[in-house]
């Protein structure tokens, strides 16, 4: 069976990583749609760099939860028949044991050079505008996808959605495209679709089945079901 899993901020919530659109969401007082843009970075680069430096530093204080580790167990069974796509820029899937993770909105532990367009692994802060390891120009920005920018690996994701048997969306509000449209694309191509989210998402009506509750409980149960089925 071929499976595509899409994850969002809700899967990391129980690890202590704030989501974007819940009551205690990120960017305190600002709508993410107003600040996660290249224009906001052009106007206030230091503020934006500090925000991402703080989030990068906070990774050291959080751990993967049972939802992340359950998806790693699923990868062990399905191998290349699982495509795990995350909108998250944290590294909790990798630390939970997943080996192949497609970060469509980029990664905190990577820097993108506005001089040469190169991507470099990055663990430190960027607020002091260090030189790019590739070209030496001090134009490194967070390697994340802001509104108006094209998410990574869209061709690969679209190909996978067209041939998948099952599409599962975990912990995402369904407020941001193109990820919010994956359910309809997969369904139009014949896949069964399942939502696992704390509450009904904006797109909940598009799913064949929706289960609501914390990802740390729902995901291990669903993965156990998948493992039982694959053992039959
Ligand atoms: C739990 C839980 C628990 C809590 N257990 N669950 C008009 C109409 C349609 C589209 C557009 C439009 N105008 C503009 C657009 C396009 C635009 C867009 O979608 N805008 C919307 C505002 C409408 N999109 C873009 O610009 C994208 N690019 C693009 O479209 O390029 C064109 C193109 C596409 C494809 C091919 C070719 C060209 C880029 C979008 C970039 C988004 N970037 C951000 C910031 C990334 C860096 C960072 O992290 O700071 O990505 S915004 C932010 O939202 C972040 C997230 O990845 C993304 C999604 O958020 P997510 O993960 O869903 O989090 P929340 O907080 O919204 O939801 C959490 C959910 O978890 C909730 O439902 C909770 O209930 C649940 N939950 N606890 C389970 N314990
Ligand atoms: Zn460079």
The residue that leads in pLDDT, 196 or 28, is 196
pLDDT bracket for residue 35 (50, 70, 90):
confident
Ligand 1 contacts CB of residue 66 (under 6 A): no
| C-alpha gyration radius of the chain | 18
Do 203 and 171 share a domain, yes or no? yes
Ligand 1 geometric centre to CA of 174 (Å)? 7
Rounded-to-integer distance, Cα 153 and Cα 189, Å = 19
- What is the average per-residue pLDDT within 102-119? 98
CATH number (domain holding residue 114): 3.30.1600.10
Q: How far apart are CA 104 and CA 132, in angstroms?
A: 22
Q: Assign 29 a pLDDT band (cuts: 50, 70, 90).
A: low
Closest to 6 (Cα-Cα) out of 209, 175, 194: 194
Q: Which residue reads 């795990």 in tokens? A: 84
Tell me, what's the pLDDT at 162?
98
Reading the block at residue 208, the tokens are 């064949």
Examine the domain organization and report whether 218 and 166 are in the same domain: yes
Q: How far is the CA of 1 from the centre of ligand 2 (A)?
A: 41
Residue 52's domain spans which residues?
Answer: 19-61+108-144
Q: Is the CB of 130 under 6 A from ligand 1?
A: no
Q: What is the mean pLDDT of the chain?
A: 95
Closest CA to 203 of 190, 215, 186, 218: 186
| CA of residue 28 relative to chain centroid, distance | 20
Contacts of residue 157, defined as CB under 8 A and 6 or more positions apart, other chains included, come to 4, 83, 85, 102, 104, 182
Residue owning the nearest CA to atom 54 of ligand 1: 176
Residues in Cβ contact with 77 at an 8 Å cutoff, skipping those fewer than 6 apart: 226, 227, 230
26 vs 231, more confident: 231
Confidence band of 32 (pLDDT split at 50, 70, 90): confident
Active site residue 30: no
Are 2 and 71 in the same domain?
yes
Query: Which atom of ligand 1 approaches the CA of 172 most closely?
Result: 63
- The CATH number linked to 157 is 3.40.50.1220
Number of domains in the chain: 2
Q: Among residues of the chain, what percentage have pLDDT more than 70?
A: 96
Q: Of 144, 166, 200, which residue sits at a domain end?
A: 144
Structure tokens at 157: 């994701």
Which run of H or of E encompasses 52? helix 45-58
Q: What is the mean pLDDT of residues 175-193?
A: 98
Question: Which among 8, 15, 13, 21 is positioned nearest to 172, based on CA atoms?
Answer: 8
Q: pLDDT tens, 145-172?
A: 999 999 999 999 999 999 999 999 999 9
Q: Domain end: 144, 172, 199, which one?
A: 144
Per-residue model confidence as pLDDT tens digits over 199-231: 999 999 999 999 999 999 999 999 999 999 887
Q: Indicate whether 31 and 117 sit together in one domain.
A: yes
pLDDT of 33 higher than 90: no
Q: How far is the CA of 232 from the centre of ligand 1 (A)?
A: 37
CB of 197 within 6 A of ligand 1: the answer is yes
Q: Is 107 in the pocket of ligand 1 (CB under 6 A)?
A: no
pLDDT at 105: 98
**Among the three residues 94, 129, 144, which one is the final residue of a domain in this structure?**
144
26: confidence class by pLDDT, cuts 50, 70, 90: low
Round to whole Å and give the CA distance between 129 and 38: 16
pLDDT category, 140, cuts 50, 70, 90?
Answer: very high
Query: Whose Cα sits closest to atom 56 in ligand 1?
Result: 87
CB 198 near ligand 1, within 6 Å: yes
Question: Averaged over 40-48, what is the pLDDT?
Answer: 91
67 shares its domain with 167:
yes
CB atoms within 10 A of CB 182: 27
Give CA separation, 186 vs 103, 161, 212, in Å. Answer: 19, 5, 21
Contacts of 55 by beta carbon, 8 Å cutoff, 6+ apart: 89, 108
Residues 98 and 194 in one domain: yes
């Amino acid at each position: 069976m071929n499976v595509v899993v899409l994850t969002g901020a809700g899967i990391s919530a129980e690890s202590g990583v704030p989501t974007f659109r819940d009551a205690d969401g990120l960017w305190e007082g600002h709508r993410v749609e107003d600040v996660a843009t290249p224009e906001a970075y052009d106007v206030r680069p230091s503020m934006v760099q500090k925000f991402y430096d703080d989030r990068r530093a906070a990774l050291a204080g959080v751990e993967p939860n049972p939802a992340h580790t359950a998806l790693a167990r699923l990868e062990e069974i399905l191998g290349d028949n699982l495509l795990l796509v995350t909108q998250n820029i944290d590294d909790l899937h990798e630390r939970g044991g997943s080996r192949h993770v497609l970060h469509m909105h980029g990664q905190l532990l990577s820097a993108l050079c506005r001089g040469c367009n190169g991507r470099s692994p990055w663990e430190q802060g960027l607020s002091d505008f260090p030189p790019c390891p590739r070209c030496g120009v001090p134009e490194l920005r967070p390697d994340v996808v802001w509104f108006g920018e094209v998410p990574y690996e869209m061709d690969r994701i679209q190909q996978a959605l067209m041939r998948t048997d099952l599409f599962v969306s975990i912990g995402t509000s369904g407020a941001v495209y193109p990820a919010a449209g994956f359910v309809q694309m997969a369904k139009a191509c014949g896949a069964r679709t399942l939502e696992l989210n704390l509450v009904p998402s904006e797109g909940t009506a598009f799913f064949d089945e929706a289960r609501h509750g914390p990802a740390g409980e729902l995901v291990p149960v669903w993965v156990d079901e998948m493992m039982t089925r694959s053992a039959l």
